Structure 1
Amino acid sequence: MASSGHDLPLSINDPSSGLPPGFPRITPSSPLRDFGPDSMDYERCAALHNELLTKVVRALGGEMPSAPLSWWEARVPPDEVANALHPSLIEFLKRALDEDVMPTMGFLFVFLGALKFPEGFFRDEESYSIYDETGRFLKLYESSHFRLGDDEGLLFDQETMKASFIEDWNDTRMVTSHEWSWMPLEVILDSYLQMVDEGKVEAVSKEQAALLDRDPKIGVVEPWVIHQYTKIDVERAATAFKRLTDAIEFRIAMQARDKDKPQPQPALMALPWHDPATYNADILPSSSFTHKFLCAISDTKVSFRFIAPGIGFPTIPEFAGQPITDFVTSPRRNFGKFPGDCPLRLFQIDTTEEDAARNGDGKHPMPRDRHLGLDNVAPGFYIDRVVQRRPQFWSNGCHLILPFAIGRRGYARKSNGEPFGLSDCDHLDENPKPRDARGDLYQAGMTNGITNSHSVTIDKVLDNWAERVEKGDWEVDEHGVKGGIEKFREADTEEHWREYWIPPSW
């Protein structure tokens, strides 16, 4: 697993070696186990399911019974259902405990209600089966209905033996048409426990849930609450930022040392968010992730401007000139309804009339398409809505909006493997044609297969940029990272696309 704690684990060990240390959790010492293409790790999946269920029972004030029934024992599926289930899936259901052990009404997780009743496995099959493959897909877990409408749930593919959480029922047919976002069931269940480990999700009492339900920024699906961000999220983002700036400064210092003549020590400059006076409370509420992240890096001083090719720190006036600054007289479309209800441009991309002409628009130096819910949004690196409200639960998400579009060559990939620029209609094609897009780089795809949809978290992009500098993929001079914004066109090339791809995660 990556050091960030929530990249999907990809390493595999030999199941014949017995249960590794730390089982059933997926860790470097207890990686995924490969049982072949026609099977699943039903033992681990059941153990993870049971661990989640135990947390729910205790949060609701109960204790696990000494001899709880498995789902198979409690539900006794009829022969027509049992005969349609893969043997490995049956073994999972014979080990996964039935949710009736809960003392009161509760959900297995924020996104999952419970394992379906036998008669519900294939009930909606007609809505998402492809090529008339009857019995291939089944709804294994019901959604918790955290959105209060159009929720789907967790589907299982009995051909690939993989699973995917689908947020919206309307997306189901598109998701089942491709391999994107499908993964081992144990990865999904372990990801939910990771979210609990990090405090992203908490199991709370009924009284606590009622109190927290008054806050529109917190999602409550009893006995679970999900937060917009955690202390770990802030620390992780600040650490990634420091890793990146340190890597650039180190290479600047090395280059100066290698020159024949002694070089003067470069002057250090404070970043625009060093002064709290630059923080507009309407744009950056003190309780927001972005405010806490900027405070955490506010004392950083640098000798360079460019933190990535063509992407630099803004001046104080540039930082103040956000896409939305007026929350009183002219809310922008659906933005500006409450403090923090806006995107925030964190890093600047300089564009000129010459750049615009080269990218096919001589009249308008800024792209004229729509991103982040805004028309003609300037290129730059953005935090998505600074303050989210349920049912959106990630306020540390970010977007890089390029001054040009990439993706049509077909090499660029989103985290789930999806090509760039696809519309909903394209997802229904067996082999959709990729298209150019300005804002798809680093993003997860239509669904990440684990949670509700959200933008990639900022720490992952900053860590990716630091890795590019550390490995020498990006060169550095006294001004910072070299190459200009055109360097990002490499993301759609056969040689370099992996350098700009972020592995799937929750």
Structure 2
Amino acid sequence: MMRARMKPNSRAANWAGVRDAVLGLLLLVAIKLSAIALDHGCARYVTLIEFMIDSDDQSGITPRPQAAKNWHPYRDMAESNVPQERLDVDRCVYLHNHVVELGWAGRHRDVEPKEIPARPTTTWWEHWEGVEAEVGNLAYLQEVLTPDVVEFLHRAQMPADGLAFSYFLEGLASPQDMAEHLQSTYEMYEETRYLLLYMRTWTEDRLGVVFDMDTNLASYVDYWTFLNDELDSFPLELVLATYVGLVESGKFVALPQAEVDAIRENDYFGHSEYSSPWAMKPYGDKALNDTLDYFKKLLRAIWERMPADAKTAQAEQRMCQRLIHPEALADNPDVPNDSFLYNFLTCAPGCPFRYIAPGLECPTPENIAAFLEGPPWPPPPDPAKYSQGPSEHPILLFGSDEVIEDNVDGGGFYYVANSTLTGMRGGLYLNSQTHAWDGYQDGVRLVTPFPVGANGFARFGDNRAITDKPYRYGSQEGPARDPEAYTSLFQSGTNPFNDPHHTQLMVLLQFWILLVENGLWTVGPAGVEGGMDVFKMADDEDQWWRYTLMAATP
């Protein structure tokens, strides 16, 4: 039966309009959220580091570790030194201006929101075209720079007067500095290729972020002598996203001037006036939390592979306790309660086994107490000049019973002249908690009781060889051996984003988790087996890549 056609209902028509409007609004919201997610993902390119190994086939080995078959070092991380067709101007402008905005907001964090002055939005090009002395340099740059770089400079905003772009970077270089460095590199390389894009803070003899106009890649470079085709370089948007990530993770903080001054007065590392409003914290809250998470995962990975008869209830109970109770460290001047060491030891779970890595023992209340009573190394030669407090020197976190018997210089380890590593225990050492020269209290170094590198296969993360060489310092007589071959495993080397620093504990723990999970380290009743001799594989022709970190660690 045919149904009669009904007269359109005005109310129904209105609801249809509302529906269409709502759907349209939802679509716009979805697009906006997608853009935000993309921006946020870019900002976390480097902060969310996760190694992945496919254990099905690990036979393929190529000259560089990041190219080893089935070895995927960083999720969401572009491979280094892959030329880009062009500069992503929109993305780079957004990230650059976002860093400038973060610095402005931090500088005025003590001001009521309604009273915060408007941030200056003058672009780099607008600023310098008003400076008569730079007109000629701008004309030269307009001629030799790629159109994408020129557009970026036309849109990238300047930090307010007196404010640095980031902790390690004063900001975009001046036209004169850009022009002079382009001309000097032309004399060196016979091509106008390397542009000094961002200038380093507080020093005149060092560079900053250098942009390669042939490959559209960028890298943080200390000196021109380090400028070569083997330098680890990445798209500029990844470099800029790293700086956003370091702010989000709490490592870099923008502060009012009074707070920056207070940090500068009390911080051994020293914060230059040229870095304002930025300060670098000894460790970020996110880094501490990630370290604790990866430590728990490593304990669990080892525990799951232990023989059943070794998994006693008493051992399992240790994982429900802390490495050390806060009361044991109360009022201990050698372990400040705001230090990374204190927070790691009092928050991390206890170990249900003895060995957390080949030959390296887990921290226990007993060996921590023994360390605090007397560091396991020969004292520096001048006690009157250098304090002997444990927190002022590297701290043995995962110790070994093996010691260095060779005559090895210790100056590069303790940063104390005429010191030695001879007699020092092998193990994983945490940076000084008061005098961390690189500003990373969570930085670590593995000290091996034997040299690594004589075979020529051991590598830093930047692919530079770890060398076993005689000690040389001018004509000065000293120890027979240089410390590099004893202290450089699992170190990144140069850093494509910032000043180099020791590998963070959280990064190393991630690496060790994979070595356990993929069976490269065997597990027995007492934990990881093998002794420290296992680390000699780092200098083996077939195994070296398994012990090489990547350079791209912010």
Q: TM-score range by the shorter chain?
A: 0.7 to 0.9
User: 1:136 corresponds to which residue?
Assistant: 193
Whether 2:167 is the aligned partner of 1:107: answer no
Displacement of 1:175 in angstroms is 1.5
Q: 2:402, 2:425 within 8 Å by CA — same for their partners in 1?
A: no
Whether 2:144 is the aligned partner of 1:95: answer no
C-alpha separation in 1, matches of 2:507 and 2:92:
27
Alignment of 1:30-429 (within 5 A): 37-58=84-105, 59-60=107-108, 61-64=116-119, 68-76=121-129, 78-99=138-159, 102=160, 104-124=161-181, 131-145=188-202, 150-167=205-222, 172-217=223-268, 219=271, 221-252=275-306, 255-256=307-308, 267=315, 273-274=324-325, 276-277=327-328, 281-297=332-348, 300-313=349-362, 318-319=367-368, 320-321=370-371, 324=375, 335-336=386-387, 340-351=391-402, 365=405, 368-370=408-410, 372-373=413-414, 374-376=419-421, 377-388=424-435, 392-421=438-467
- Which ranges in structure 2 are unaligned for 5 or more consecutive residues? 1-33, 49-74, 109-115, 130-136, 473-482
Q: 1:283, 1:325 within 8 Å by CA — same for their partners in 2?
A: no
Q: 2:440, 2:501 within 8 Å by CA — same for their partners in 1?
A: yes
SS of the counterpart of 2:485?
Answer: coil
Q: 1:179 to 1:129 in 2, by over 3 A?
A: farther
Displacement of 1:422 in angstroms is 8.6
State the one-letter code of the partner of 2:38: G
Offset from partner CA, 1:103-130 (integer Å, 9 cap, x none)? x421111111121221210324577678
C-alpha separation in 1, matches of 2:173 and 2:92:
16
Displacement of 1:498 in angstroms is 3.2
How many residue pairs get aligned? The number is 447
C-alpha separation in 1, matches of 2:498 and 2:553:
9
State the one-letter code of the partner of 2:308: A
Alignment RMSD: 3.8
C-alpha separation in 2, matches of 1:301 and 1:31:
33
TM-score by length of 1: 0.77
C-alpha separation in 2, matches of 1:476 and 1:130:
57
Displacement of 1:454 in angstroms is 1.3
Q: Out of 491, 495, 500, which is 2:542 matched to?
A: 495
Q: 1:24, 1:47 within 8 Å by CA — same for their partners in 2?
A: no
TM-score by length of 2: 0.71
User: 1:483 corresponds to which residue?
Assistant: 530
Q: 1:409, 1:492 within 8 Å by CA — same for their partners in 2?
A: yes
Q: 2:326, 2:346 within 8 Å by CA — same for their partners in 1?
A: no
Displacement of 1:330 in angstroms is 7.2
Bigger Rg, which one: 2
SS of the counterpart of 1:83?
Answer: helix
Q: 1:122, 1:137 within 8 Å by CA — same for their partners in 2?
A: no
Displacement of 1:394 in angstroms is 0.9
Offset from partner CA, 1:444-471 (integer Å, 9 cap, x none)? 20x2121222100011111211121112
SS of the counterpart of 1:165?
Answer: strand
After superposing the two structures, state which structure 1 stretch, 489-498 or 48-57, moved more.
489-498
Displacement of 1:178 in angstroms is 4.7
Identity score, percent: 25
C-alpha separation in 2, matches of 1:272 and 1:98:
48
Q: 1:470 to 1:32 in 2, by over 3 A?
A: closer
Q: 1:310, 1:482 within 8 Å by CA — same for their partners in 2?
A: yes
C-alpha separation in 2, matches of 1:216 and 1:385:
13
Q: 1:53 to 1:468 in 2, by over 3 A?
A: same
User: 2:111 corresponds to which residue?
Assistant: none
SS of the counterpart of 1:210?
Answer: helix
Displacement of 1:295 in angstroms is 0.9
Q: 1:19 to 1:90 in 2, by over 3 A?
A: farther
Displacement of 1:161 in angstroms is 2.2
Q: 1:113, 1:142 within 8 Å by CA — same for their partners in 2?
A: yes
SS of the counterpart of 1:351?
Answer: strand
Offset from partner CA, 1:126-178 (integer Å, 9 cap, x none)? 77678533422222112221xx66443222222332222234xxxx1332035
User: 2:70 corresponds to which residue?
Assistant: none
